[in-house]
Chain A
Amino acid sequence: MIPPNYFLILSIILFVLGVIAFFIKKDLLTMFMAVEVMLNATNLAFLSLARSANSIDGQVIVFFIITVAASEAAVGLAIILLVLRQKKTIKTEDIKLMKG
């Protein structure tokens, strides 16, 4: 059996990769994928801790996260599509509507 620490370390690596990708990539779609990676990294952490603590709570939360991620993907992709149509670009530095 693989010790749970391994899973946690993998989870941390994935999460940090997601954060880095989020900050260095410039188009919305890749940033969006980075967010998904972070979400799944947390899923992994929850699952491994649930397994080691012999509790079902962590697994339940994972199901919630998957559901929320699915809806978020649907809405997020739709927004990105509309942004592309309106602005003809998905580069973040070109989209500065909130600037005062």
Chain B
Amino acid sequence: MTEIFWLIPFVPALSTLILALFGTKLPKKYVSYQACLAVFGSFVISVISFLSLLQVSHESYPLVKNLFSWISSGSFNVNLSLQLDPLSAVMAMVVSGVGFIIHIYSVGYMAKDEGYTRYFTYLNLFMFAMLLLVMASNVVLMFVGWEGVGLCSYLLIGFWFEKHSAASAGKKAFIVNRIGDAGFLLGIMFIFIYIGSGEFTAINAAIGGGAITQGLATLIAILLFVGATGKSAQIPLYIWLPDAMEGPTPVSALIHAATMVTAGVYMVARMNLLYALSGTAAQIVAIVGAVTAVYAATMALTQNDIKRVLAYSTISQIGYMFIGCGVGAYAAGMFHLYTHAFFKSLLFLAAGSVMHALSGELNMKKMGGLRKYLPLTYPTFLIGAIAIAGIPFFSGFFSKDAILTAAYANGYYFVWGLGILGAVLTAFYMFRLIFLTFHGQERLDPKVKEHIHESPPVMTIPLVILAFFSIIAGFVGLPVVLGKKLNFFGHFLEPVLRGGHETHISHDLEWILIGISVGVALLGIIIAWFFYIKAPRIPERIRERFPRIYKLLYNKYYIDEIYNAAFVNPTVRGSEKIYDHFDLKVIDGAVNGTAKVTGFSGKILSYFQSGLIKDYALIFLLGVIIFIGYLIIF
């Protein structure tokens, strides 16, 4: 039974193929069933593989299934092979499980869309690429999945391509990701040059055997991390993610919150020995993560678009995951990835349900008091917000606390401080969102209010399932202070994450740290309550008092404008110059020149033609006579 794990990515691949070839002829109902069942199939196989993995001894990790040799060119060999170890098993279950729930939700959300079949084709293709990414046993195949999810992200952000903003958001995501991918590719190149193989087992063996120096490890690790900043939307390449919200909301939930954007975290965890060897690279990861966590959270404070707040929140939470990986607590980073997948997809789907109820309204300024209209969306949204804010016994608390405790224990006090600051901001902006949307005065458009309704069960049931997991998912990784044995998640991943290091701190200190993170979460919620329920005029006054800061945050630090001025416009203008001078003159000149020369020579030669058949025949005859005469005489 352990062998079937290689089927996990290929079930959605088959479904994609069928939908892409015959999709337009199939009835809508069949499309929904097939798309959902394919992902469910992957999920079932993932669970079976996970259970069978528990029976296998640690020494035999990872289980590798070599399908065939893909590229074989001299010393450059790449196999199409998949591997199963605790890390990929966890990722496969999260991706296919959350993916399945979001597929079901999409059946309701996209029901009236004209591109229904196209949507599910892309979504299944995404599942294939993502599962390939997490199960690949070498960096090249991982890169194939990496690019595949990027492609699907582009296709789905620009799903409503007739809208200009959606089309350009898709393009932006694609181009920004290419910049990161260039770094990733260079990293792969160095791996092949100095290690000679892209297999993860070979890379780990080379690192263990001392085959690569620390400097080289730093170089490769940083190049790979550049790719991760693109895919996982970290500073400086995060700018595409907020715009990615132009896509359908379930897509934002699945791709731009729960799965694809965490690929960078998975990659760093997969390469944990490399980052552990380098040290410097790990510190860079931790600092970039911490700065991003706070920076993105500040931008979320002033946004009024419900999905944009969640987008910045995603960037911020991925920052936390990178803190975990950077400080050496890879298991904690992965744990946050796993809990985040539940509560963030829940938040997005609930936001989608709000949009659905309000005929597509996104602006929180035009909501308020929705609590009584949306009896199922409200509590599930609230559970998601509590989980992300880090209130005890909800999943987000355990994972965020594990990261921050590890950061403190390993001596990254600065990073820990930023993490705590980010936690306050997180709690604040999430409850600002809750209060503005569901509480307080109704600021609804009267026209919208007429059509207000709770979403159908096909959308609310996924919300309830995700809410359930947002509550309980954290209990598989309880803090060390409650007992060393209770962190099942960490123990399960331990054989893979050998690059991690734990520093033990006293129980008292750990309790204090837990107390601080709970305290700041409550503080954030209280401030939000005070600002938006108790005294709603305070935010107004703060805005008047510090107009510059407010404007800076509201305009997202003008980063888009700066990037446009620094990179985009020079590129566009340079390209225009090249077009004018090189394309039009040199390339077009060469093509037109060839045509002119041919035409001219044809014209010269045509003077020899009379056009009369008799003339040609006569010349022909003369030629034959001369030829025969020559043969006879000589």
Contact = CB atoms under 8 A, between A and B. Distances in A.
Interface string A87-100: 00000110111111
Interface residues of B, number: 14
Interface stretch (B97-105, B240-248, B377-385, B605-613): B605-613
B624 to A, nearest CB: 10
A19 interface: yes
B609 A100 contact: yes
A93 to B, nearest CB: 6
Interface in A66-100: 92-93, 95-100
B612 A96 contact: yes
Given A96-B612, A100-B608, 13 more contacts: A23-B614, A23-B617, A31-B613, A92-B612, A92-B613, A96-B610, A97-B611, A98-B609, A99-B609, A99-B611, A100-B606, A100-B607, A100-B609
A22 interface: yes
Contacts of B613: 31, 92, 95
12 contacts: A23-B617, A92-B614, A95-B611, A96-B610, A98-B606, A98-B609, A98-B610, A98-B611, A99-B606, A99-B610, A100-B605, A100-B609
Interface in B586-631: 603, 605-614, 617-618, 621
Interface in B24-38: none
Contacts of A98: 606, 609-611
How extensive is the interface on chain A, given as a class?
10 to 19
B622 to A, nearest CB: 12
Nearest to A28: B613
B621 A19 contact: yes
A39 B609 CA distance: 27
Interface in A9-39: 19, 22-23, 31
A83 to B, nearest CB: 11
Contact of A100 (B603, B614, B617, B618): B603
From B608, B613, B621, name the one whose CB has the most chain A CB atoms within 10 angstroms: B613
B619 to A, nearest CB: 12
Interface string B352-374: 00000000000000000000000
Contacts of A31: 613
Contacts of B614: 23, 92
B560 to A, nearest CB: 63
From A31, A95, A99, name the one whose CB has the most chain B CB atoms within 10 angstroms: A99
A95 B614 CA distance: 11
A21 to B, nearest CB: 11
Contact of A93 (B608, B609, B612, B621): B612
Contacts of B609: 98-100
A22 B615 CA distance: 12
Nearest to A99: B611
A22 B617 contact: yes
Interface in B400-426: none
A100 B612 CA distance: 11
A73 to B, nearest CB: 18
Nearest to A93: B612
B629 to A, nearest CB: 16
Contacts of A93: 612
Contacts of B610: 96, 98-99
A94 to B, nearest CB: 10
Contacts of B607: 100
Contacts of B608: 100
A92 B617 CA distance: 12
A1 to B, nearest CB: 29
A93 B614 CA distance: 9
A23 B615 CA distance: 9
Nearest to A31: B613
A23 B618 CA distance: 8
List 5 A-B pairs, minimum CB-CB distance, nearest first: A100-B606, A96-B611, A99-B611, A98-B611, A98-B609
A59 to B, nearest CB: 24
Contacts of A99: 606, 609-611
A87 to B, nearest CB: 13
From A97, A99, A100, name the one whose CB has the most chain B CB atoms within 10 angstroms: A100
A95 B608 CA distance: 16
A32 B617 CA distance: 13
Nearest to A100: B606
Contacts of B606: 98-100
From B603, B608, B614, name the one whose CB has the most chain A CB atoms within 10 angstroms: B614
Nearest to A19: B621
A92 B613 CA distance: 7
A23 to B, nearest CB: 7
A51 B607 CA distance: 48
B318 to A, nearest CB: 72
Contacts of A97: 611
A31 B617 CA distance: 11
Contacts of A96: 610-612
A48 to B, nearest CB: 19
Contacts of A22: 617
A99 B610 CA distance: 5
B328 to A, nearest CB: 82
B617 to A, nearest CB: 6
A60 B603 CA distance: 44
A98 B613 CA distance: 10
B625 to A, nearest CB: 11
A7 to B, nearest CB: 20
Nearest to B610: A99
A16 to B, nearest CB: 11
A55 to B, nearest CB: 21
Nearest to B617: A22
Nearest to B621: A19
Nearest to B624: A19
Nearest to B613: A92
